[in-house]
Chains A and B, each alone.
Chain A
Amino acid sequence: MNVLLVAASAMVVAGGIACVAGRRPAVIALGAGLMLVAVALVADPPPALLPLAARAVAAALTAELLWIGLRSRPPVGGASALAWPAIGFLGAAAFTVGYGSAQGMPAGGPPVALGAALALLTLTVVALVGRFDGIQRSLMALPLVAAAELIRTAFVGPPSSLEGLVVAGLGIILAGVVASLSAGPVHEPAALHGDPGVAVVRDPRIARRTPQPRGGADTR
């Protein structure tokens, strides 16, 4: 077993957990960026330097878009049904199952790719349960796209440079969608603001265009 491939797979799963279970925008953005970069590393032979650099730049852009979008909006949909350690254990179990299954298949890529793909699919499904917020649903698309690329790597081998670029572009578009969704008016649960019984409507676009008094913008 190649240690580097296992380490890259672990980074993929850890990034995926942060992306779907994180509540702070920075954690979500960093997790997504880490996952998208590490996905490119789960390949045997490893990708060339230039395509890898392009993937890293695209992942950084994806993370930045997510951070810019999400920092203006709290996670109104609440946390995932399970805490991140539980999701992590489930992901590890799924990784083991995927890795074991890949041993018996005439795979064109490393078996850890199928393990990481199964782990991402599992933690996405688990984190999705009971969450109906559009932003959180959109975020779940990122690990799904990463899982699709890993499945491709596991069965057919590593993607070409062009395919890697297209996947990177898809990640940026998904992050753009999340950022765009975050820009709309939000119905914040009053409990988040310590004022039970009062729903607060906040429109970041109005706040952005309205001159704000000194001492910070009150966007409520």
Chain B
Amino acid sequence: MTIAPLVVIALVFGAVAAVVADRGGTASFTALGGLALVVVMGMVLPVAPGDSMLAGEPVRIDGYVRLFLVFGGVGGLLLMLLHAVAPPDPSAPALGPRHAHVGAAFLPFLGGAALALAIPSPLPALVAATAAGLAGMLAAARDATDIPEPIDSARQQGATRPAAVRTMSGRLGADVLRSAVALALAVSALALLAGGADVIAGEPVGVGAAALGLAAAVGLRIGIVPLHAHAARLAESAVHGAVPILSIWGPTLFAVVALAAVQAAVVPLGLPLSMERGIIAGLGLVTVALAGLGALVQDDVDHVVAYSILQDAGFAMLAFTATDAAGWGAGRTWLLVFAISKTALLGWSAVLVRTFGTRSLADLHGWARRAPLLGVALAVVAVATVGVPGFASFDARLALVSAPLGEPLRWLVLGASLVTLLVHGRLLVIGLLEPTGQVRAGADERLRRLRPDPRRRVSVSARETFNLNRVPVAAGLAIALALVAFSAGADLFGLHAAAAENLPAALPGGQPSTVPAATFRPVPTESPPASSPLATASPPVAS
């Protein structure tokens, strides 16, 4: 079966759902968006792995593509339901229902992702991945403004952030520009490697520059240090419904496709590229360390989640330092586990904030006592992210560290990457402290029933019962999302094996020689006289 119907349905449903949501039909939107996500997943599951043709070019759906699309679809569906069910956000009533954005962002993303992952050729796949990532921008841009928020007045009143935070359009515009720059950088590097292979092959500087360009494009998308500030602010301030695509799934998809490009264009050359790989690994490790530190010291829950996303995304840069096919499976496994586990963390934070009406951890002391289901959800997310030996997440983390680093440094870096455990642990410990007044005032997770009233309509009873139980239902959905992340991290669906298969073939075109070319030819300082017999013999050329 070809992927064309899947792509078309995802894009058309996404467009229709966005129009419905824009016109205020939230109930219709929820039904439509949910139905579309289910239809898309229903189309992915029965697809048998194999090749087909699309617009004259071969496309391939394998196990990893199916897992990526299903995890993305399930994550988007649960997140949309979670936003629809959770109590209304008291801090941003002007922004309207957030769940409308989730479906509007996820549906076109899934269509683009199916295309990007199924096209074996890395150049069109990079373009498709960029287009899919920008789908989230369509949802977020509808709420953007360039009117500055009254931050000072809000802070004077004790609030961590202003009451109704809108994304600044300048910030979104910069992110669009950043995506385009990343695309141009990656395409240029890849085109140079493919088209100019005969010239730069064997020239470590040329290949290294191209490899650095590909890695820089990925770093630009995911926001590694020192390009992290913008990515962190976007994750903090964009509408919650669009953040999963903007900060997690979009960059993840781009990184998966760029990893395929590296495996097809750089790794087959067999060059050591020690300096370039050292730079990439160094930037990734600095991101892991600094973003982990940032997540540990922040007070705002959204900030903690944003830095936690950056920390684990930075770890994915290590996949671009592999000199052989070992980085392929581990990198793709890590990227998918990262995407679904951070989506679950975002779902958890959305329910937490909307249950207790604050983002400040100082005001959220004792949240886990009041909402134990949310505590369970956070613990499951932590296990899914870190894993234990035998889990896909843990093994991928170990493999990524092992490839570029030697023995003593390897364990140090592994330890630094496990700071994410401290971040989750800190949130849990705060939740077990003595509850604050604001937490006590928040709704608990007990199921409630209306007092019987025979005069009340059934529909009214159902609606009011639902409104009474928004908090426990939303917490249940957060747990469901965490369990989906756990299933990915624990390799319950064969993610590790699926990620390691179908290594990309070397790029077509002039295949370069891996023998280093002579780059230095000594010139004789003194020319022998014309009469000398040496003048007729060609000087030896250093190789």
Q: Please give me the residue from chain A that is nearest to B510 by CB atom.
A: A106
**Cβ-based interface call for B207 (8 A):** no
Q: Please determine whether A166 and B187 come into contact, CB atoms closer than 8 angstroms.
A: no
**Cβ-based interface call for B130 (8 A):** yes
For the complex, give the distance between the alpha carbons of A132 and B146 in Å. Answer: 10
**Cβ-based interface call for B361 (8 A):** no
Q: Please determine whether B137 and A145 come into contact, CB atoms closer than 8 angstroms.
A: no
Closest CB in chain A relative to B114 CB, distance in Å: 12
Against B, the Cβ 8 Å flags (1 = close, 0 = not) of A110-138 are 00000000000100000010001111111
Interface size on A, residues (CB 8 A): 51
For the complex, give the distance between the alpha carbons of A151 and B168 in Å. Answer: 32
Q: Please determine whether A201 and B147 come into contact, CB atoms closer than 8 angstroms.
A: yes
Q: Please determine whether B184 and A147 come into contact, CB atoms closer than 8 angstroms.
A: yes
Q: Secondary structure of the B side of the interface?
A: helix
**Cβ-based interface call for A155 (8 A):** yes
Residues of B within 8 A of A165 (CB): 55
Residues of B within 8 A of A156 (CB): 123, 191, 194-195, 509
Cβ-neighbour of B141 out of A106, A107, A180 (below 8 A):
A180
**Cβ-based interface call for B380 (8 A):** no
Against A, the Cβ 8 Å flags (1 = close, 0 = not) of B500-527 are 0000000001000000000000000000
Known: A134-B171, A144-B181, A162-B57. A76 touches B128 (CB 8 A): no
- 9-residue interface stretch from A9-17, A183-191, A212-220: A183-191
For the complex, give the distance between the alpha carbons of A187 and B145 in Å. Answer: 8
Q: Please determine whether B177 and A145 come into contact, CB atoms closer than 8 angstroms.
A: no
Against A, the Cβ 8 Å flags (1 = close, 0 = not) of B181-210 are 101100110011011101100000000000
Q: Please determine whether B134 and A170 come into contact, CB atoms closer than 8 angstroms.
A: yes
**Cβ-based interface call for A46 (8 A):** no
Cβ-neighbour of A184 out of B112, B131, B144, B187 (below 8 A):
B144
Residues of B within 8 A of A141 (CB): 176-177, 179-180
Q: Please determine whether A185 and B124 come into contact, CB atoms closer than 8 angstroms.
A: no
Closest CB in chain B relative to A48 CB, distance in Å: 10
Q: Please give me the residue from chain A that is nearest to B115 by CB atom.
A: A166
Q: Please determine whether A181 and B191 come into contact, CB atoms closer than 8 angstroms.
A: no
- 9-residue interface stretch from A29-37, A85-93, A171-179: A171-179
Q: Please determine whether A184 and B145 come into contact, CB atoms closer than 8 angstroms.
A: yes
Known: A105-B196, A162-B56, A187-B148. A133 touches B170 (CB 8 A): yes
Q: Please determine whether A144 and B194 come into contact, CB atoms closer than 8 angstroms.
A: no
Residues of B within 8 A of A136 (CB): 173
Q: Please determine whether A181 and B177 come into contact, CB atoms closer than 8 angstroms.
A: no
For the complex, give the distance between the alpha carbons of A187 and B150 in Å. Answer: 14
For the complex, give the distance between the alpha carbons of A71 and B359 in Å. Answer: 38
Q: Please determine whether A173 and B184 come into contact, CB atoms closer than 8 angstroms.
A: no
Known: A174-B134, A181-B173, A183-B142. A163 touches B124 (CB 8 A): yes
Interface residues on B, range: 35 or more
Q: Please determine whether B134 and A173 come into contact, CB atoms closer than 8 angstroms.
A: yes
Residues of B within 8 A of A137 (CB): 170, 173-174, 176-177
Residues of A within 8 A of B248 (CB): none
**Cβ-based interface call for B478 (8 A):** no
Q: Please determine whether A134 and B146 come into contact, CB atoms closer than 8 angstroms.
A: yes
**Cβ-based interface call for A26 (8 A):** no
**Cβ-based interface call for A100 (8 A):** no
**Cβ-based interface call for A159 (8 A):** yes
Closest CB in chain A relative to B71 CB, distance in Å: 23
Residues of B within 8 A of A109 (CB): 195
Most buried by B among A106, A154, A160, A177: A177
Q: List 7 A-B contacts (CB under 8 A).
A: A109-B195, A132-B170, A148-B180, A159-B124, A170-B128, A174-B180, A187-B148
Chain B contact residues, CB within 8 Å of chain A: 54-57, 108, 112, 115, 119, 121, 123-124, 127-128, 130-131, 134-135, 137-138, 141-148, 166, 168-174, 176-177, 179-181, 183-184, 187-188, 191-192, 194-196, 198-199, 509
Chain A contact residues, CB within 8 Å of chain B: 76, 105-109, 121, 128, 132-138, 140-142, 144-145, 147-149, 151-152, 154-157, 159-163, 165-167, 169-170, 173-174, 176-177, 180-181, 183-187, 201
